[in-house]
Amino acid sequence: MAKPSIDISESFASTAKISGDISQKDVNNVLQFLIGVGVSGHVPDQFDAKKDSYSDLVRDLLEPLHISRGHVTCLVSVKPAVINFFAGFHGGAVAAVAEAVSIACARTVMAKDKEIFLGELSISYLASAKKNAEVIVDASVVRSGRNLSVIALEFKLKKTGDLIYTARATFYHMPAAKL
């Protein structure tokens, strides 16, 4: 089993089981990448997950532009808080925005007493939005029935109109509780 030759004090590296079929150089590269992206960094108390800062962060990115039955359009600002190691819009943040906008879109065609849950979300990452870019997210209902709703989303750069991400969300409807 190969051991890293670099001085790694992070617990994730010292406890990792490293396969013998990977070179020492590759092990070091992976560990350096993980350190660089802050995989073991401390999360400040004000961002404690129990305080739902994740939802606040996503809401802070969105600005509604248009809402109609079966259609929602929002502007997303790619702020420094949601960029990845390569200075692009983080894939997880793209997914979070896709979920939030698709829920809003589904709600335009559903009864208020219906509860929904996300059953499937697929995203195609075609290109990347860079830091401080503005992205138009256009969501529309593909299908909405008694048991499920399907929402299609397109993410386009505001400046050029280039398509950078596409997404499709499927929501399952829960029957209203009868008490």
In the chain, the domains with their CATH numbers are 1-41 (no CATH), 46-174 (3.10.129.10)
Structure tokens at 131: 């830091």
pLDDT in tens, 15-57: 667 777 888 888 788 777 777 666 666 656 665 555 555 566 7
**pTM (two decimals):** 0.74
Helices (H), 15-162: 24-36, 53-61, 91-107
List per-residue pLDDT tens for the chain, 179 residues long.
444 444 444 445 566 677 778 888 887 887 777 776 666 666 566 655 555 555 667 778 889 999 999 999 999 999 988 888 889 999 999 999 999 999 999 999 987 778 899 999 999 999 999 999 999 999 999 999 888 999 999 999 999 999 999 999 999 998 755 55
| Residues whose CB is less than 8 angstroms from the CB of residue 68 and which lie 6 or more positions away in sequence, other chains included | 108
pLDDT value, residue 8: 47
Of 174, 171, 175, the residue nearest 106 (C-alpha): 171
